[in-house]
Amino acid sequence: MRRKSLTQFLVEQQREHESLPGQLRLLLEVVARACKRIGYTVNQAGTDGLLGDEGAINVQGEAQKRLDVMANEMLLEANEWGGHLAAMASEEMDTIHPVPNRYPMGEYLMMFDPIDGSSNVDVALSVGTIFSVVEAPADISGRTPTEADFLMPGRRQVAAGYALYGPQTLLVLSVGTGVYEFSLDRTMGAWELTGENLRIPKGKREFAINMSNRRHWSEPVRSYIDDCMAGKDGPLGHDYGMRWTGSMVADIHRILKRGGVFMYPWDSRNPNAAGKLRLLYEANPMGFLIEQAGGLAYEENHTILDIQPQALHQRVGVTMGDRDEVERILGYFEA
């Protein structure tokens, strides 16, 4: 039986849900095509000489990989001319990228992390692309977009998703009506629907965290992880498993399909920073997907999607996944 294509799915969503206007549908199709191109580039990185560092440092103070730069350019080029966007912001750029004057200005703003977990490419592990879309302010058509236009809480997102480049190339997407998974049929070059209304499985005793940072965590986080590690003889009464890939996309995808929680909490190495992950490019879009799949996304005791951003590259601590397990973790902060 022929599977439903991404285009067919989006057209049906447009007809059935007022939350998917025509311009947003066309924008998501452009993003999906760009992700196909990025996925192919990732797969060919070794033979095309694209592994390793670019030799530059991004605004985050991190060494850029060649693929970071290429994927960033692919997303900019694919999206700037279609008339769907007013501006874009990327983890890899110092400031925003307004749509050039020679192209029509659209009604949306997009934020993205072009290659999440890019260090994994050099060792042939999974990486991904994360994106988030919000409606532009109503007055933007008469002026030049600014960074302040992007500083909206995650609740304002109208679409979010990620592409996963691994053993399969997947696109996971939500327009506010649930979470849907599409697989890339390489023979046809088409995205096909392979998962509908994804819900985080409950009760999976598994966490994803970088254990090498344990000594830097706050006491509530340390206590929770120590109790997990104590297993069935400890206070939680269950044996927990741990997974960590170094790619948020890969870890969140596993949680959507298998359950558990993902944590990248604040740590004391940079006490003045709220966390490691970026609110606009990583935490908000992933929090949107997690909530749409029945889970919770928090920064300690604050719901991530309700945080009012103060800066384009703002960082936050992240705990998200199975609702019951996240609530259990929140109890450690309240104790």
For residue 175, give the nearest of 113, 133, 137 by alpha carbon: 133
Strand partners, 159: 133
Neighbours of 77 (CB within 10 A): 11
CA 68-69-75 angle, to 5 degrees, is 90
Query: What is the rounded distance in angstroms from the CA atom of residue 71 to the CA atom of residue 120?
Result: 15
Strands 108-116 and 85-90: parallel
Ligand-binding site membership of 116 (annotated): yes
Query: Would the annotation count 276 as a binding residue?
Result: yes
223 is in an annotated binding site: no
The full DSSP string for 205-222 is -EEE--GGGGGGB-HHHH
Q: Is residue 241 marked as binding?
A: no
* 62 annotated to bind ligand: no
What length does the chain have? 335
Residue type, 322: D
DSSP lists the bridge partners of residue 278 as 315
Cβ proximity of 161 and 142 under 8 Å: no
Q: Is there a binding annotation on residue 117?
A: yes
Tokens of 306: 């309700």
Q: Are 249 and 128 in contact (CB under 8 A)?
A: yes
282 is in an annotated binding site: yes
User: 113 a known binding residue?
Assistant: yes
CB of 32 within 8 A of CB of 171? yes
Annotated binding site for substrate: 116-119, 210, 276
Annotated binding site for Mg(2+): 91, 113, 115-116, 282
Annotated binding site: 91, 113, 115-119, 210, 276, 282
